[in-house]
Amino acid sequence: AQIEEAKVATAGLVIAGLKLLEDTFGRLSKGKGFLGDIGNVDIVTGVLLRVVKVMEDLWPIINRYLVAKKQERSFQQASPIIIYTKPGRCCLSYQRRKKKKKKAMAAAAGEVRLIGAWPSPYVLRPRVALNLKGVEYEFLQEKFGEKSELLLRSNPVYKKVPVLLHHDKPVCESMIIVEYVDAAWAKSGQAILPADPYERALHRFWAAYIDDKLNPSGAALSKAQTEEAKVEAAGQVIAGLKLLEEAFGRLSKGKGFFGGDDIALGCFLGWLKVMEKTSGVKFTDEEKMPLLAGWAERFCGHEAVKAVMPEPERLEAFARKRAASAQAPPAN
């Protein structure tokens, strides 16, 4: 009985304290959602809400008080300190801001759409760029072997992915999209290309080299039928990577990334690992190309990349399925 009396007395003190905070909130908040702009009292009281939550469960008298108060509309509107949904989510204002942010993100996703296919390294380029800039977007997945009406209408010249739709205006070609994203959201996230015109020109040069020279060599290796053709194509890939190893030493300026060509080359790393497995050739050798090997590990571990980079195993399975469908006899 004495213990129960002590609980009732303590609960009364807690309720009295909450009532004082209720009165104080009305004066200090000035009609806003916090006691100022998330000030000291908000923080101190908010941290204690976990304790109050436990006390609600253990002491029904406090729970009955709070349940009754939660049903009062005026209390709900004016008391974000006491009304909360989960521990750590301690006020209605937080919930309102969260909903507002979700609506803004949904609106942004409607403004930015990307037409693509998940296995494509060219599609991966704008996805990484958008992630680096923190841009919400809707990914419109194209079915392999098919071209949607939206794709044909958005890219009538090449009829290929990726295509970025920004306010329904199409931007085509992967590296052009990357540059567009860097410029359109210049004040968001990190810069993708350097601001200096000469350095920017150098990075464009090497991005073009990757697309015009290195990637065709990789494609030739994937399609090679004879051992001689495989050896020749693998040699071309290694020669191209050695040039990029030297370029990295100049362009990175002692830092961990190229500073402009990371997306152009990095988005092919998944397929490069697949080629290493199928050909038995180690392309990013830690001894022969230590700079590229270290860079590749850092690039794949970047948060903007990890979220969208396909696993090599998944790419390999896709390649096998694609090869099998290509060799299958036509249906009668």
- What is the per-residue pLDDT for 99? 63
CB 91 within 8 A of CB 82: no
**The pLDDT of residue 43:** 61
Q: Which of 92, 156, 85, 142 is nearest to 113 (CA)?
A: 142
Nearest alpha carbon to residue 126 among 170, 67, 168:
170
Q: For each successive 10 residues of the chain (332 residues), what is the average pLDDT?
A: 69 80 73 60 59 59 57 48 43 59 55 97 98 96 94 97 97 98 95 94 96 95 92 95 95 91 95 93 91 96 96 95 75 51
Number of H helices, E strands in the chain: 16, 4
Please report the pLDDT score of residue 240 as a whole number: 96
* Nearest Cα to Cα of residue 295 among 249, 329, 328, 330: 249
Q: Give the pLDDT of residue 323.
A: 84
pTM: 0.68
Token pair in block for residue 139: 């990914």
Apex 210 CA angle, 145 and 239, nearest 5: 115
Strand partners, 164: 114, 171
Residue 81's pLDDT is: 43
Quick one: pLDDT at residue 27?
73
